[in-house]
Amino acid sequence: MMLAQCRIIEFPKIQDRRGNLTFIEENRHVPFEIKRVYYLYDVPGGESRGGHAHKQLQQVLIAVSGSFDVVLDDGFSREKITLNRPWQGLYIPQMVWREIENFSSGAVCLVLASEFYDEEDYYRNYANFLRAARGT
Ligand code: T46
């Protein structure tokens, strides 16, 4: 099941009296070549994002500021993970439906992606995703 492949990745965290610094190196801290970076911010209270799955795309989501919940669903089971630590990332492989909700005020979701943006890579319809995920 794809849900078993979702995991929290801990990035290096350098602390000194001036504050903290975290860095991410391609192929060292994330298990793919980073082709794209985007971020979600200024999300109004009560709004949610996502509501889709990807055929090929792998991603790492990071709460660089604030917090939000990520609901993951591989067509067989569901899990909710709260992200609120800037030195942690959530790895999501292909074929996992995700919904991102409960954004705190000022939250920023930074995303590292394995592919360029391609609308053809999306399942935006849950029934179609379920059929593909379950092979029915
Ligand atoms: C995901 C979650 C966490 C682009 O033109 N380029 C891009 O790189 C992206 C990500 C989106 N777009 C366009 C496509 C839509 O017209 O921006 C619009 C909003 O995209 P979407 O509704 O897919 O946004 P979210 O926040 O629901 O989902 C995004 C990613 O699409 C998705 O892969 O996992 O963030």
Name the strand (E) or helix (H) holding 132. Answer: helix 126-134
**Residue whose token pair is 């996502």:** 50
Is pLDDT at 136 greater than 90 in this prediction? no
The CATH number that domain 2-15+32-134 falls under is: 2.60.120.10
Band of the pLDDT at 50, cuts 50, 70, 90? very high
Band of the pLDDT at 39, cuts 50, 70, 90? very high
1 compared with 75, residue with greater pLDDT: 75
pLDDT score recorded for residue 130: 97
Among 49, 70, 116, say which to mutate for ligand 1: greatest number of ligand atoms within 8 Å of CB.
49
Catalytic entry in 9, 49, 50, 52: 52
Band of the pLDDT at 77, cuts 50, 70, 90? very high
Q: What value does the CA radius of gyration of the chain take, rounded to a whole number of Å?
A: 15
pLDDT score recorded for residue 81: 98
